[in-house]
Amino acid sequence: MPSTYLDHNGTCPPRPEAVAAMVAALSLPGNPSSVHAQGREARRRVEVARRQVAALLNLPPATLIFTGSGTEANALALASAGDRPVITSTIEHASVLEATPGALRCPATPDGVVDLGALDMMLGAAGRPAFLSLMAVNNETGVIQPVAEVAALARRHGALFHCDASQAVGRLAWDWAALAPDYLTVSAHKIGGPQGVGALAVRDGVPLAPILRGGGQERRRRAGTENVAGIVGFGAAAAACDAGAFNRLAVLRDGLEARLRAAAPELVVAGARAERVANTSCLVTPGWRGETQVMALDLVGYAVSSGSACSSGKVAASHVLAAMGMGPDLAGCAIRVSLGWSTTEDEVQHFAGAWTALHGRRAPAPAAQQAHLSPQDRQSVVSQTARQQ
């Protein structure tokens, strides 16, 4: 078991409040659809959790549908597109990209932000109101997307707007009621709740096409007996979130990046010029494969990722970095370090020392590191480094 966990974007360690609430809920024998006392108590706890998650979003509790994951919540939203043309971006999570093989893909800028000009043209060229699915925060780079501007474009073009906010909720103090997406995905294990629980918020009056049928649960919007303990843990984690306190991580993250850049001048921090959530660093080291770094760091007691946790087991270049203009050689040399509620300054400092030591033992001169890169990637290193100065 790694002694230092720095993969909070993959799964945030459960908060003590969530664990305690789940342990208490696990002792309940009742099905929340049953009318006896035990069933009513299970139902009460589910509804308390619904209110807690809704309060974090500033949305009415009745808009929330509990699901088995953020991926399921995305699928439920996307199934509601009907015959509308679907538009997503090139930097979306795999749960959106793989569910929409025929969608139009909006490009991203080299800084990892959705190209609003291109999106405006695509919405206009669709010929009829579209279904738009764009994330709030990129899971690999931490780059914050212009959700307010995207929502305004969607309204102007009559499009339905689904926003995957799994990496944003609890990390940004956003009023989701004011932003007003039509569908909003959240995931428990990204905020210190349990794995296997998500939710989709659905605005009144927009279409919804259930993908699980056969029961009256969740107002007939998602059949299946509710995961009471998981939902209760989700609610407790939501109640414990403090986006203001989360911002303390920016100091740790920025200090880490400065120290690593000083040790490795060739290092590129993907999205460094864009606005990012406080906890995320996507570190690209030319000539040092991401999976090699992950394994070497794991052996010395540090857990980081080489991309999305949903791509584990795959040795492939990041599609997000490719969408930002990096070729396969450079895009395959990234690791993601993501901090969270339990991360300490000492852990970050010790990680920086471990990474620097590993880099020093294997790294040739920067010029030699870049010699094997394609012209596209060499130019990308130059331009990305210039942007982050």
Residue 185: half-sphere exposure toward Cβ, Cα within 13 Å: 31
Q: Is 59 in contact with 266 (CB distance < 8 Å)?
A: no
- Spot the catalytic one: 106, 241, 310, 333: 310
| Tokens of residue 261, six digits | 């850049």
Q: Phi and psi at residue 162, in whole multiples of 5°?
A: -105, 130
In sequence order, the 6+-apart residues with CB closer than 8 A to the CB of 121 are none
- Please confirm, yes or no, whether 310 is among the known catalytic residues: yes
Distance between CA atoms of residues 181 and 166, nearest Å: 14
Residue 310 amino acid letter: C
Distance between CA atoms of residues 53 and 194, nearest Å: 13
Hey, which residues are catalytic here? Answer: 310
